[in-house]
Structure 1
Amino acid sequence: MAVIKANSRDVDMLARLIRAEAEGEGELGMLMVGNVGVNRILGNCLDFKNIRSMRDMVYQSPGGFEAVQKPYFYQRTREKERRLAQRAVNGEKTRPASNALWFYRPAGNCPATWWDQQNSGRYKAHCFFVPTPADCPRVY
């Protein structure tokens, strides 16, 4: 059962995003990027107030995803990415991205905080960052 409202186009859009942002991180890394996207829609907090749809989340500007500026994002998805996107939409969460609203790929080690948000962990090249439960209770 979906934790956010998403039709097949939304799932496809999330699938393109997770592939473009984290294909090199494998299936688990792509699922984690999906977690971040779903959390941004659920959260309605901090930088993500009034992000109510997949389109709002994917194309948020400023503060959105770099991948939408690259041609790779606009290529057709594969079934593997659509399944991963659907799992994220259905609420499957994976640490360290379970409650994360942000991620990025630093050149070195993950910092303890990023824009005042706590590091929740690293998976391969990506570091994930979480809000406090007080700031964003809907992602917890």
Structure 2
Amino acid sequence: MAVIKVNSSVVDLLARLLRAEAEGEEELGQLMVGNVGVNRILANCLDFKNIRTMRQMVYQSPGGYESVTKPYFYQRAREREKRLARRTINGEWTHPATNALWFYRPTGACPDTWWDQRNSGRYKAHCFFVPTRADCPRVF
């Protein structure tokens, strides 16, 4: 059962985001990017107040995704990424992105905090960061 409202265009949009943000991170890394995106829609806190749809989340500015400025993001969604998007939309969360609202790719080690948010772990090149339960209870 979906944890956010979906239709085929929502699945396609998330699928394109997963590929553009984390194709080199394999399926698990792409699922984690999806976790962060779904969490941002569910959160309604901090940088993500009033972000209620996939389109709002993907194109949020400032605070959205760099990949939406690249031509690669606008290629047609592939079935592989659509399956991963559906898994994420259906509530499959993967640590360290389970409660994460942010991720980025540092040049070295993951910092303990990033913009005052706690590091929840690293997967390959990406570090994931979570809010406190008090700040964003909907992602816990």
- 1:66-77 maps to which residues of 2 (within 5 A)? 66-77=66-77
- 1:52-67 maps to which residues of 2 (within 5 A)? 52-67=52-67
Structure 1 distance, partners of 2:87, 2:139, is 16
Structure 2 portions without partners, runs of 5+: none
Specify the alignment match of 1:82 in structure 2. Answer: 82
Deviation at 1:6, TM superposition (A): 1.2
Deviation at 1:77, TM superposition (A): 1.3
Specify the alignment match of 2:16 in structure 1. Answer: 16
Q: TM-score, normalised by structure 1?
A: 0.99
Moved over 6 A (4+): none
Deviation at 1:30, TM superposition (A): 0.2
Specify the alignment match of 2:7 in structure 1. Answer: 7
Structure 1 distance, partners of 2:87, 2:47, is 24
- 1:106-121 maps to which residues of 2 (within 5 A)? 106-121=106-121
Structure 1 distance, partners of 2:6, 2:101, is 19
Q: Which residue type is aligned with residue 12 of structure 2?
A: D
Q: TM-score, normalised by structure 2?
A: 0.99
Structure 2 distance, partners of 1:17, 1:109, is 25
Q: Which residue type is aligned with residue 100 of structure 2?
A: A
Structure 2 distance, partners of 1:89, 1:66, is 21
Deviation at 1:91, TM superposition (A): 0.6
Deviation at 1:119, TM superposition (A): 0.1
Deviation at 1:37, TM superposition (A): 0.1
Structure 1 distance, partners of 2:76, 2:11, is 12
Structure 2 distance, partners of 1:53, 1:9, is 12
Structure 1 distance, partners of 2:42, 2:83, is 20
Structure 2 distance, partners of 1:139, 1:64, is 18
Q: Which residue type is aligned with residue 135 of structure 1?
A: D
Deviation at 1:75, TM superposition (A): 0.2
Percent of matched pairs sharing the same residue: 80
- 1:96-107 maps to which residues of 2 (within 5 A)? 96-107=96-107
